[in-house]
Chains A and B, each alone.
Chain A
Amino acid sequence: MKLTKTLMASTALTVAAGAVVAEDMAMEMTLVSWGGAYQASQHKAYVEPYLAANPGVTVTWDESSGEAVAKLRAMDEAGNVTWDLVDVVASDSMRLCDEGLAEELAHDDVLASAPDGTSASDDFGDLIVSDCFVPQIVYSTTFGYRTDLVGDTAPTEICAIFDLEAYPGKRALQKRPIDNMEWALYCDGVEKDAIYDTLGTPEGVDRALAKLDTIKDQVVWWTAGAETPQLLADGEVVMGSTFNGRLFSAIAEQNQPIGMLWDMQSFDLDGWIVPANLPADRKARVMDFLKFATDTQRLADQAKYISYGPARASSAPLVGKHEELGIDMAPHMPTDPANAGNVHVYDYEWWADNRDDLDAKFQAWLAK
């Protein structure tokens, strides 16, 4: 009798304790990312150690970052936000923040400080481009070329893409005005500092499109990052732009005859946002995960699996070797001094103001 009572009491206690934990922090999370090698690197560097430290938590990945803005709008409208943490590019984070779909964060309060005590906001520095955005990586959109199809002189500077005489053959470019317009103006002789001023005038836009016109019939337009490596591997194109991590994987992991052209690479950021107005238990869980996943060591660990630069200054010295290949990762980072000699710094704010207008002009030009 006594035994039964004790048992019942302890069961009741366990249940109550369980209920308290459940109220504090949800045990499930849905993380949204881009799929492929990038998502795999996040899983290995952040999620696996977090799950090991927090048994009972389950994580579901949704490969929907490509349409994150549209889906979050629909979820908000339907009053049913099922995502807990969303990986987006910097410009999407600004749109989501402006529309009130992403939670504004006090970075120093919710994120871990660097090991030497530097506050999170100083450690991330300028990369915190919006109050809702927690940067993870710096990546670049840059060119790869087929080493066996470019003849004796491999291209070393960006304007090779417009040089059909020296490098005949198809080129792969992303189907959007961003980067392509800037590269066109730069190769048409506009000073780097004056690119956005020139692009701000109707004549500048025409000038960029006229430059692109010179190679238009030799361009294959891509929309997904996996396309250019595939086209290069097939030999369908001589050179093509894509995200540097995709090229690294084709070169180092797949041993394709591809070379990197880092000149005028276009830097961009990728990071997390937390959807606005999550229920308290889910928010508590996701903030706990976010603090862990963006600390100095975790960001440095991610670079073991993919060649994207960690967004924290304090992570850079910790970047080591590739987990499987054992090669040094630092020389493959877009931020490495040898690669970052001539960099195109893409202007978020300018594009936020002019995107719709230029998208329309670019699409009209494409259809011509």
Chain B
Amino acid sequence: MSGLPPYATTPQRVWYYSFRVICALIFIFLITPIIIVMPLSFNAQDFFTFTPEMLRLDPEGYSLKHYRDMLGSDGNPVTGLWIGLAIGVAWAAFGAYRRGGLTATSIIPVLVFGLFGLIIGKLTGATGDWMVALRNSLKIAPMATLLSVSFGTLAAIGLSQSHVPFRRAIMAIMISPMIVPLIISAAGMYFFYSRIGLQGTYFGVVLAHAALGIPFVIITVTATLVGFDRSLTRAAANMGADPVTTFFRVQMPLILPGVISGGLFAFITSFDEVVVVIFVGSAKQQTLPWQMFTGLREQISPTILAVATILVAISIALLTTVEILRRRSEKLRGMSPS
């Protein structure tokens, strides 16, 4: 029944079981707040309350109305879906033509493009609070990530050259947005951006979020550069490659894992960020976290729980996808999954 050897002493036995109980409690502590939200989001009432009907598992006590509230009724999901499916089919057909035949995996691009088409179509022209907020978040986060990754990677490469003067000081300044309390950066950005006309603009929010994302990229890329062999760039130069070619053909593929994880951090920083956007943005750039913040303060509506449930589902789906891809690439490289 247990993994205890027969000669274990009483304290060992006690510790064995209490250790497992403590682990279980920590697990419950971490997971309960996330789980509890899910059934509540199907509440038929407008309160965060388990009604007697819900506890009796009576279907009357449950409804999808908060999901309908969140989605709204406008947007062009069907048009988006058709366009997405068409692109997906074209993509799959092109792939099949190149490989000389349809395979089971040909369905993947059709599904992926169909899903993206559906989401983009739904968000185009939608006017509900939540859909507008999601659209704003999806317009801001990828642009901010792109800027963070470009500038962060360049900065990391520059700062890892030994001949750059004041490297430490420059590095400290670059990663300061990560260390200075967010509210201080936000207030400073508010007054500065107001003076130069960036406050309340889309571009202003993107720049502010890029500034917050750059430190993550610098740190992860610098870490991967430690293991990068400089003689490779000299070898490339020796064989006639200019610095740009060297960067894209030699250096970039080797530091790519650092760039990607830095990019992921930058994306999540922007997607989750609520303080800076409240200062730098105006109501027109209201992002998803901002909408959740005001929603919780002004109206305690289970629509927020519906949004939270969907965000949790998306996170789980993303993690699962990444894990599947990782195992697949390990298998392709002939490594055993660890």
Q: What is the interface of chain A, defined by CB distance below 8 A to chain B? A: 30, 34-37, 60-64, 66, 74-75, 77-80, 82, 224-227, 229-230, 233-234, 253-254, 256
Residue of B nearest to A233 (CB): B47
Query: Is B282 within 8 A of A62, CB to CB?
Result: yes
Query: Is A78 within 8 A of B300, CB to CB?
Result: no
Query: Is B45 within 8 A of A254, CB to CB?
Result: yes
8 additional contacts (CB under 8 A) given A36-B299, A66-B298: A35-B299, A36-B298, A74-B190, A79-B194, A80-B200, A224-B298, A230-B48, A233-B45
A26 to chain B, nearest CB (A): 14
B49 proximity list for chain A (CB < 8 A): 230, 233-234
Question: B108-143 interface mask toward A, CB cutoff 8 Å, 1 = contact, 0 = none?
Answer: 000000000000000000000000000000000000
B74 to chain A, nearest CB (A): 15
- Some 24 contacts from A to B, beta carbons below 8 A apart, are A30-B282, A30-B283, A30-B284, A35-B294, A35-B298, A35-B299, A36-B298, A60-B284, A64-B283, A64-B294, A74-B190, A78-B191, A79-B194, A79-B195, A82-B200, A224-B297, A226-B298, A226-B300, A230-B48, A230-B300, A233-B49, A234-B47, A234-B48, A256-B47
Query: Is B282 within 8 A of A35, CB to CB?
Result: no
B37 to chain A, nearest CB (A): 15
B28 to chain A, nearest CB (A): 22
Query: Is B199 within 8 A of A82, CB to CB?
Result: yes
Q: For the complex, give the distance between the alpha carbons of A60 and B200 in Å.
A: 12
A46 to chain B, nearest CB (A): 17
B199 proximity list for chain A (CB < 8 A): 78, 80, 82
The reply on B295 being an interface residue by CB < 8 A is: yes
Query: Is A66 within 8 A of B282, CB to CB?
Result: no
Q: For the complex, give the distance between the alpha carbons of A148 and B114 in Å.
A: 52
Question: B290-303 interface mask toward A, CB cutoff 8 Å, 1 = contact, 0 = none?
Answer: 00001101111000
The reply on B242 being an interface residue by CB < 8 A is: no
A63 proximity list for chain B (CB < 8 A): 283, 294, 298
Given contacts A229-B47, A254-B46, are A78 and B295 in contact (CB under 8 A)?
A: no
A43 to chain B, nearest CB (A): 11
A357 to chain B, nearest CB (A): 28
A221 to chain B, nearest CB (A): 15
B47 proximity list for chain A (CB < 8 A): 229-230, 233-234, 254, 256
Residue of A nearest to B286 (CB): A62
Given contacts A35-B295, A226-B298, are A62 and B283 in contact (CB under 8 A)?
A: yes
Minimum-distance CB pairs A-B, first 9: A35-B298, A78-B194, A62-B283, A36-B299, A80-B194, A233-B47, A226-B300, A63-B294, A60-B283
A38 to chain B, nearest CB (A): 9
A79 proximity list for chain B (CB < 8 A): 194-195
B121 to chain A, nearest CB (A): 22
Residues of B within 8 A of A (CB-CB), count: 20
Residue of B nearest to A254 (CB): B46
A173 to chain B, nearest CB (A): 18
Residue of B nearest to A232 (CB): B47
Residue of B nearest to A236 (CB): B49
A256 proximity list for chain B (CB < 8 A): 47
B187 to chain A, nearest CB (A): 8
Q: By DSSP majority rule, is chain A's interface helix, strand, loop, or mixed?
A: mixed
Query: Is B45 within 8 A of A37, CB to CB?
Result: no
Q: For the complex, give the distance between the alpha carbons of A63 and B49 in Å.
A: 25
B282 proximity list for chain A (CB < 8 A): 30, 60, 62, 82
Q: For the complex, give the distance between the alpha carbons of A315 and B59 in Å.
A: 44
B300 proximity list for chain A (CB < 8 A): 224, 226-227, 229-230
Q: For the complex, give the distance between the alpha carbons of A253 and B190 in Å.
A: 41
Q: For the complex, give the distance between the alpha carbons of A75 and B199 in Å.
A: 10
Residue of A nearest to B46 (CB): A254
B195 proximity list for chain A (CB < 8 A): 78-79
Question: B43-60 interface mask toward A, CB cutoff 8 Å, 1 = contact, 0 = none?
Answer: 001111100000000000
Q: For the complex, give the distance between the alpha carbons of A66 and B48 in Å.
A: 23
A254 proximity list for chain B (CB < 8 A): 45-47
A225 proximity list for chain B (CB < 8 A): 298
Q: For the complex, give the distance between the alpha carbons of A359 and B61 in Å.
A: 43
Residue of B nearest to A74 (CB): B190
Residue of A nearest to B48 (CB): A230
Residue of B nearest to A35 (CB): B298
Residue of B nearest to A37 (CB): B299
A85 to chain B, nearest CB (A): 12
B190 proximity list for chain A (CB < 8 A): 74, 78
Q: For the complex, give the distance between the alpha carbons of A80 and B283 in Å.
A: 14
Given contacts A35-B295, A63-B298, A233-B47, are A77 and B191 in contact (CB under 8 A)?
A: yes
Q: For the complex, give the distance between the alpha carbons of A79 and B193 in Å.
A: 11
Q: For the complex, give the distance between the alpha carbons of A319 and B204 in Å.
A: 45
A254 to chain B, nearest CB (A): 5
Residue of A nearest to B300 (CB): A226
A30 proximity list for chain B (CB < 8 A): 282-284
Query: Is A66 within 8 A of B299, CB to CB?
Result: no
B298 proximity list for chain A (CB < 8 A): 34-36, 63, 66, 224-226
B16-51, CB < 8 A from A: 45-49
B46 proximity list for chain A (CB < 8 A): 253-254
B284 proximity list for chain A (CB < 8 A): 30, 60
A74 to chain B, nearest CB (A): 7
A34 proximity list for chain B (CB < 8 A): 298
Q: For the complex, give the distance between the alpha carbons of A242 and B32 in Å.
A: 31
Interface centre among B48, B191, B294, B297 (most CB of A within 10 A): B297
Residue of B nearest to A33 (CB): B298
A296 to chain B, nearest CB (A): 28
Q: For the complex, give the distance between the alpha carbons of A253 and B301 in Å.
A: 14
